[in-house]
Every structure is written in structure tokens, then in C-alpha cells.
Structure 1
Amino acid sequence: MLRTASGKIPVVGATPPPTFNWRKRYARMLRITDFIVITVVVFGTQISWLGIHKVIAMPVPAWPGLSSYTALSVLVVLLWMMVLALNDTRSDRVIGVGTAEYKRIFDSSFMLFGVIAIVAFLLKVEIARGYMLIALPTGVAALFLERWVWRRWLARQRAKGEYSARVLLVGSEKSVAHTARELKRTKGTGYHIVGACIPTGRIAGSLTDTDIPVMGSVNSVERAIEVTGADTVVITSTDELGPQRVKQVSWALESGKQHLVLAPSITDVAGPRIHMRPVSGLPLMHVETPRFSPGQRFVKRMMDLVGSLAIVTILSPVLLVLALIVKVSSPGPVIYRQTRIGRHGREFQMLKFRSMVVGADSRLEELIAQQDMGNEVQFKMKDDPRVTKVGRIMRKLSLDELPQLFNVLGGSMSLVGPRPPIQREVDLYADHVHRRFLVKPGITGLWQVSGRSSLSWDDSVRLDLSYVENWSVMGDIVILLKTGKAALLPGDTAS
């Protein structure tokens, strides 16, 4: 094995690590703003419910040691801060991405108020119900909003490579390259790759098709950590390392400050489907197969019915105005009906406001060669000559999709789901793509909020299948919220 004069395994140089601990700094900022938010909510609730003239002197009946509601509010603030800390809501493992951060805040808050209610009941203490009923949901909502704002700030920092874990990838060149592509797809996840160690150990080179420097071989991991300042080692494959070598790497990491991550080759699997179970010293990862129980289908259908009915009711004046504009702007029907493929491959008639001239479908073949957007399966044109002037505006803002709410009410579509394809596209599908027909197509979906026309076919398939296999109520709610933003600020991806 090649070594330097000092006896150390050689590695290439690297950029120096940051001089501050971003995890502690970010947690400290969260702690300060959490305190401000909770204090404002608790005392604001006290003042709004009890009145400013009763804030200081009004006692809490039969509560030992508390002379007034102000003292109770101080206690609630301190206890709320404590449970947020105990439940690790500011851990770098949950901040920035995913729903775990919000879930911990929700669980901690309800647990606290549940304990207060139980103690008050056991001690026969009368606390103003309005004080409790307003403070809890308002506080949780305010904490969610505060953390959301911090996430936006954190995403901007991470886009610049800051406030991120410094990652050293270790494994075969192929697996390292695959993991690097997945981690780099979204910089907001907080993993900044500073180097890689691969079996060949090409010193002073870069990983194939990437700009990631190769720091050395898999035997130089400890030295590479020292040089790069990496605080996270991600092992992408263990064939080249072996169990004993992986243990040696883990023993070399500084407890509490450096982390070891084992990255399986499987991707696009949501957290609830993954379960770890140690068996005979082996950390076995169980991945549940996608299941769609009658209960899940019932919940989703109720969400569709209630949501679409509410939207139709609220937007009924807008629907009438749009119908009138389409009618007077160009000759032809107001509603355009197109045969699409839905759940289990069944055909249905999808409704849209007509945004093209009559007979637009017959001109599709002659325009395919001029396609400048979309992908090899889905046809899109930036300046499609078949689109009317009014239609161009409606398509930009997704207003032409609103009649699909009636498809949702009728049961052929869902509010959220994979994009409904036409038969010409289905004929080009590979076998695995047909899994998208396990659920109803949606008015919006991951494809809608992740790039729309700018997506490649592979990315479109990946997003649709990821949705099908990892469906959740919270996921649908997040997509619907993002859809509103995408419709108001469509950028260049809508057409």
C-alpha cells in the first residue's frame, strides 16, 4: 500500500471546513424564535381571552403556588420550551426537509397540554377553557409557520453549500456516483459532498461524470475525514470494505460530532415504509410493499369529495366567467373532452376549458417534429400554434384544468395523483410504468409541483411512481399547498 514519508495514506487536498458549528448555531436561532413565538401566543391568548385588566391579578382557582394567570402563562411557556427540547425538535436530523420536524412539534405540544389538562382534572383546578383551546392550536400553527420560514432561509443557505453536513462518500465508484446524483438532485436536503473514497483510489482525480474529488482508496477513509473536515461518512456499498472495516470507520468517528450513514441502493421510498429491526446483530431494514387498504381509499375519496365540492362552490363565479370568456373569444365548445387512461387502465372523458382551436388534435402529428418542450413520450411546445390567445393565459395559470373538479366529483379522477395520460403515451410505456395505474390520476401531483413541462420522461415516471408507492394524507396536503403556489407563480415550466 502506497504511503507518504510520514507513514500516512495519501489523499488529495480539500476545501477547509467552516470555522463554526452550524448545527449549534441553527438550533440556537430556533430556540430564540421558538421562545418569542410561544411567549407571544400564550400571553396574547391570555390578554385576548381574559382581558387586559385581568391579566395581572386574576387568580387561578385552587392551583397551588400560582397567584395569577400570568404565573400560569410563564409556567406554560417554560414547559412548552422544555418539551420541544426533550423531543429533539431542533435536531439536525429532522430540520430542513421532511415532516418529522413538524410531527415532533405537534406531538410535543399536544402531550404538554394533555398533561396540563389531566393534572388540572385530578387537582380539581378550574382553568378557563378558552385559554387552553386557543393557546394550543394557535401556538402549534405559529410554530409551524416559524419553522417554515426558517426552512426557506436554510434552503437558501444550503443552495450555497452552507449549513450542510460535509459528506465523504465511500464505496464502489458506481454506487458512489449513484448516491452523489441523488443527493445533489436537491441541495436543500443539507448534504454537501466534499469527496469520495473508492477502491481504485485515483489520487488528484474526480469521480466519473461528476466534479467530486477522489480523496483516496477505501483504506484512506480516516485520513480523508481529517483532510476534508467531513462530519458525515456515507457508505454506499460494503463489498469493498467488509463488516470489520466498516466497524473500524465507525470507531474512528468522533462521538456526537461525526456520523456514519449506510446508504442502501433502493431509492424513492418514503420513511413510513422503512422499519429497522436488529436481528442477531444485523441491522435489517424492512421495506413495506405499497398497500392501499379500503380505509386509505375511503379517506382519499372523502378528501376528494369534500375538497372538490368546496373548491367548486368557492370558485363557481370564476368558472362562469371563464366559460363566458372561452365562448366569446373563439368559435367552438366551451368544454373540451379528451379520452384519458385512468385507474386500472380504464378510459374516461377528462374535462377542460377549451384552450385550443377546434380540430387541434388532428394537427398533432405534423407538430411532433417541432416539439421544443416535454419529453420523448409527452408532447409539449412552448409556442403551440393551436393554442388560442385566451387559452395561452389559462394554460399558464392552469385555469383550463378547473373543470376536472367535476371529474373528481364523478370519481374518475382525484385531486392529487399521477398525470392522466392519453393512449398514445401509454403505448410507449415500459412495463414498470403501468404501476401508476394503481391509483386514480390527479388534477395535480408531484409532477405538477416539480417542473411540469421541463421534466425528462425518466423524472416524470420516477415522481409518479414515488407518489403511488408512498401515498399519505399529509403528502396530498403538501402537494395541494405547493400547487397553489405553482399556479400563482408558474414560471417557465407551465405551458
Structure 2
Amino acid sequence: MRPLGTSRSGAVRRPSAASAPPPTRRRDKPAWYAPTALATDALGVFVPVLAAFTATGEPRPLAAAATAATAWAGVRAAHHRYALRTLGETRGLLSSLHDWLILLGLLAALRVLTGESSSLLTAVGALAPAPFLTALAAALTHRHLTRSRRRAQALCRVLVVGEPGPVDAVTAQLAARTDHAYVVIGTVPVGGGHLTCGAPETGRLTADEPTLTLALSEVLPEGPDGSTVLDAARRLEADLILVAPGSLLTGDRLRRLSWAVHDAGLGFVIASGLSEVAPGRVRVQATAGLSLLHVVPPLRRGPQPFLKAALDRTGAALGLLLLAPLLAAVALAVRLDSSGPALYRQTRVGLRGEPFTMWKFRTMVTDAERLRPALETANDHCGGPLFKMRRDPRVTRVGRWLRRSSLDELPQLLNVLSGRMSLVGPRPPLPDEVERYGSAALRRLSVKPGLTGPWQVGGRSELSWDESLALDLSYADNWSLTGDLDVLARTFRAVVDGRGAY
């Protein structure tokens, strides 16, 4: 487990409850996020439509441009894309494409109703840049917000309430990542026991539920629990109360605490205990006065998996065809650089534990496996079954370049074409790695391994085993076709960047 307050690469991260005093810098997101997004959307449609309609001689170019820009901004606003709570939280490509398809449908309906007679090809071509300009602005905003949070800005100050065990777990998980707004500034444990997360204790609730015996006119609205929590929140200037419920904090006691927090004007959030479950798989339902969380099972059957398989094989076939000259050039470079075959085959474990032969361009000397036992003590990938060395002496000169550019993985398109791998999925493990898997790690094998995946775009070899496993388990349970498209789009940047490839 990575120490609190460090990033995936081991660098010190933004202040957390376990490593630094509460932040005192600006908490809100910059005010320019919303007007910038709105201006980008409006101009990203208005200017191309006006230019295209004017250049082709279409009637009423100004009116068409204004109508399209207004419709685009309206569609985006209807989906709350300009709300401060959502701006900068995602890269925005999939949401902009979704909104763009709705825009096309809306403008098509207006075209029929008004009898507009412009060229359909010109209209669609003029609208084509809109989702990409919007996604570019969203990506830049997301990058700015991420950097701001690393500087302890645009954060939500959180007070965690609960039994020591759950409080430690929640605090550790929040401190382990910087892709969210929550920073723990204090805790209010319930009952006995000691905290190990390092977060400051700013109060403590009794193990037994307090009994209200005061006269009606004397009863405090918040009660004893609420008074303790709100006093801590006021002293720390908390924005949000996050409750990790347990056997000592449930039912009426939890409800009364929520009343006190809400009456004080603070946010109130309950940690469900679930982790790495996509929001789209969670449904809230009220039954018999209970708030129930329904977790939708992972996608394993239906049209999306069928479409994924079809896209995998089609994409692999097109890739092999278009990249044939590059593949031939790389194979020649490998042969000229060192003795041995251009391709390297290795047994890997695939879907449901089935072994298969995986193909790669050879990046090491031919007796690399014989030399590995002597290098085990130099393994840079501690804490798991993986073996990685930042400066592996077995890697050839061309092999080092191939690994940094990920070109050594291209022959796996043959595995994708044969159906043993997918374009996107967890990395295919070695049999000896699988032998050391625990029950949780075996969950990785519930989906096909991929040519690229969350490991490729999340940091590659710089990730610890626990981080790699968390990414793969999240992918296995939350897979979706749109998520695969997002990973494919991010893969290009990861390959160009080369970070973590060795």
C-alpha cells in the first residue's frame, strides 16, 4: 500500500489529513470555467457554420449560425455541463459526442419543421468541429483543475465521522488520489479505539446512543452527537460531513445527525463501503422508509459485449493491414540490432484462466528468461507478483526504444484477431504471476486481456501492484463500450508521453 500523501509515482502530493495541516487556499473552482466553456461551445458552432454557409452560398448564414450555436449551448445546458460542480471533473470527450448527436437530431427536426433547404453535407461538416473543440476545452479545464488540487486549491474540506476502522479506511482512500475534491481535515471517532490514519481527532462520540431527556423547550435541535460534530466542523471550517457508518452509528442516530448537519447548512455524505463501482451501476431506491442502493451487475451479455467483439476483430484486421509497412520495418530493425528472431512468443493467461500464446516484437536478448533469476533482487515492482526493472540489462538498444513507444505490442493485433485478446482490457499475466494471485486478483481474468487498458493509460510500470490491480478490477466490473473508446483515445497520449514505459 502506498503511503498517504504520495502519488502513483511516489512524489509528494497535495496536503492531506495524514501528512499536512488543513489547506487555507481558495476552495472554490475558478469563476472563469463556466463562461469559458459557454464561449467555446457557442463560438465553436457559430464561426464554422457561418464560414461554411457563407463560402458555399447557402441562404441566411447568420441566422443558421446563431440558431445552431443557441441549440448547442441549450443542449449542453440541459445536461448541466456548465454547472460549477461538474466543470473540470472529466475530460469531456464522450459527453460532448453524446450531446452532439442530440444536437444533430434537434437540428434535423428544426430543418423539417421550418423547411430549411441548405446542403445537408455542408451543415453536418460545419457542425463537425463542435464536439472536439468542446472536448478540448474540457480537457484543458480538467488539467487546470487537477493541477489546482495538487496545490490545495478548489478543494472541499471534509470532516469524517465514524468508528476508527471505517474512518481509517475512508481517509486512506481519499488521501491516496488527487482526482477528486475531498481533503480530510479532521475526524470525529465513535466509541473506543485509536485512529491510525494520522488525521487529527477533533471530537469523539460515545459508543452508546445518547438519550434525550430534556424538556421540549430545552432540547437542542442537534442533540449531543450533532453538537459534537458541528462544534468540530465550525472550528475546522469544514464544508462537508462524511459519515462512515458502522454498528455504533446507524438508524435513528444517523438520521438525527443528518438533521443537525443539514440544519447547520453543511453537506452530508454517507460512505456506502463499496469501492471502484461506476456511478452508472448504482441505483437509489426508497423502500419501506429505507434508502437502498441497487448495484447493477457488470456487463457480460447483450449487445455491448457483442459489439465489442466485432469492433475488436475489425480494428485488429484494419490495424494489421494499415500498419504492415511499419511492422516490417520494426521486424527488420530487431533482426539487425541483435541475433535472434524478430518476434517473441510467450504463454500468457487469458479469459477465465485459459492459457494462450501471445506475440510481441523481441526486445530482449534471446536468453533473457535464463538470466532472470539472477536479477530478482533488483525488481523495481515491489509488493506484488510482477517483475519489472527500470534499467533491465537484458533489453536491447532497439528493444528499449520499442518499449518506450509501445511498438513492441503491435503483434498482439494477431491475438486480438484470433479472439484471445481484446483491443482494451487488463494486461495479460504470466502463469507464474497467476499462481500467486489472491481471490481478488483472479477477478482480473473475468474479462479478456487487452492490447491497451487502464494500466497503459494510468502510469504503466510506475504503478504499484496494488494500484495496477485496483485499475484492472475497476475495469472488469465497470466495463462499457464508451469506456473502451475513452481508453483508446487516451492511449495515444500515453504512448507519445512514454511515462512509465521500461
TM tier, smaller: 0.7 to 0.9
Distance 1:255 1:148, change over 3 A: farther
Q: Distance in 2 between matches of 1:31 and 1:109?
A: 19
- Partner-residue secondary structure (3-state), 1:74: helix
Give the alignment partner of residue 202 of structure 2, picking from 215, 229, 234.
215
Q: Distance in 2 between matches of 1:443 and 1:408?
A: 8
Distance 1:274 1:390, change over 3 A: same
Matched, 1:80 2:72: yes
Matched, 1:153 2:144: yes
Residue equivalent to 1:22: 28
Partner deviation per Cα, 1:93-123 (whole Å, 9 max, x = no partner): 4333357x66665555544553443244234
- Partner-residue secondary structure (3-state), 1:189: coil
CA contact (8 A) 2:34 2:84 kept: no
Partner deviation per Cα, 1:414-436 (whole Å, 9 max, x = no partner): 11112211221121122332222
Give the alignment partner of residue 262 of structure 1, picking from 266, 270, 273.
270
TM-score (norm 2): 0.83
Letter aligned with residue 176 of structure 1: V
Distance 1:254 1:88, change over 3 A: farther
Residue equivalent to 1:177: 168
Matched, 1:460 2:473: no
Letter aligned with residue 170 of structure 1: V
Gaps of 5+ in 1: 1-13, 60-68
CA contact (8 A) 2:454 2:475 kept: yes
Letter aligned with residue 91 of structure 1: A
Residue equivalent to 1:472: 480
CA contact (8 A) 1:17 1:229 kept: no
Residue equivalent to 1:391: 399
How far the C-alpha of 1:86 sits from its partner, in A, is 3.5
Residue equivalent to 1:243: 251
RMSD across aligned positions (CA) = 2.8
Give the alignment partner of residue 445 of structure 2, picking from 437, 451, 461.
437
Give the alignment partner of residue 39 of structure 1, picking from 10, 33, 43.
43
Q: Distance in 2 between matches of 1:363 and 1:240?
A: 56
Gaps of 5+ in 2: 1-20, 206-224
- Partner-residue secondary structure (3-state), 2:501: coil
CA contact (8 A) 1:46 1:131 kept: no
Q: Distance in 2 between matches of 1:354 and 1:21?
A: 50
Partner deviation per Cα, 1:110-162 (whole Å, 9 max, x = no partner): 44553443244234343553454234442222212111111111110011121
Q: Distance in 2 between matches of 1:380 and 1:489?
A: 19
- Partner-residue secondary structure (3-state), 1:241: coil
Matched, 1:295 2:303: yes
Distance 1:109 1:97, change over 3 A: same
CA contact (8 A) 2:406 2:495 kept: yes
- Partner-residue secondary structure (3-state), 2:417: helix
Q: Distance in 2 between matches of 1:319 and 1:16?
A: 52
Q: Distance in 2 between matches of 1:131 and 1:258?
A: 51
Partner deviation per Cα, 1:241-300 (whole Å, 9 max, x = no partner): 333343344334468974221111111111222111111221100112224115333211
Distance 1:70 1:252, change over 3 A: farther
How far the C-alpha of 1:350 sits from its partner, in A, is 0.8
Distance 1:81 1:291, change over 3 A: closer
Matched, 1:49 2:41: no
Letter aligned with residue 47 of structure 1: A
Residue equivalent to 1:62: none
TM-score (norm 1): 0.84
Residue equivalent to 1:494: 501
Distance 1:121 1:266, change over 3 A: same
Letter aligned with residue 95 of structure 1: L
How far the C-alpha of 1:87 sits from its partner, in A, is 2.6
Letter aligned with residue 398 of structure 1: S
Q: Distance in 2 between matches of 1:286 and 1:304?
A: 31
Letter aligned with residue 196 of structure 1: T
Matched, 1:134 2:125: yes
Residue equivalent to 1:9: none
Distance 1:279 1:361, change over 3 A: same
- Partner-residue secondary structure (3-state), 1:197: strand
Give the alignment partner of residue 426 of structure 2, picking from 394, 402, 418.
418
Distance 1:179 1:164, change over 3 A: same
- Partner-residue secondary structure (3-state), 2:394: coil
Residue equivalent to 1:91: 83
CA contact (8 A) 1:373 1:382 kept: no
Moved more, 310-319 or 243-252: 243-252
How far the C-alpha of 1:30 sits from its partner, in A, is 2.1
- Percent identity, aligned pairs only, is 33
Q: Distance in 2 between matches of 1:449 and 1:112?
A: 31
Q: Distance in 2 between matches of 1:321 and 1:16?
A: 54
Residue equivalent to 1:276: 284
Q: Distance in 2 between matches of 1:472 and 1:458?
A: 23
Q: Distance in 2 between matches of 1:372 and 1:110?
A: 46
- Partner-residue secondary structure (3-state), 2:498: coil
Give the alignment partner of residue 344 of structure 2, picking from 309, 319, 336.
336
CA contact (8 A) 1:96 1:189 kept: no
Residue equivalent to 2:492: 484
Q: Distance in 2 between matches of 1:466 and 1:183?
A: 16
Letter aligned with residue 357 of structure 2: Q
Output aligned runs, 1:399-418, within 5 Å. 399-418=407-426
Give the alignment partner of residue 112 of structure 2, picking from 110, 113, 121.
121
Partner deviation per Cα, 1:325-352 (whole Å, 9 max, x = no partner): 1111111111111111111222211111
Q: Which has the bigger relative contact order, CA under 8 A and spacing at least 6?
A: 2
Give the alignment partner of residue 312 of structure 2, picking from 304, 309, 315.
304
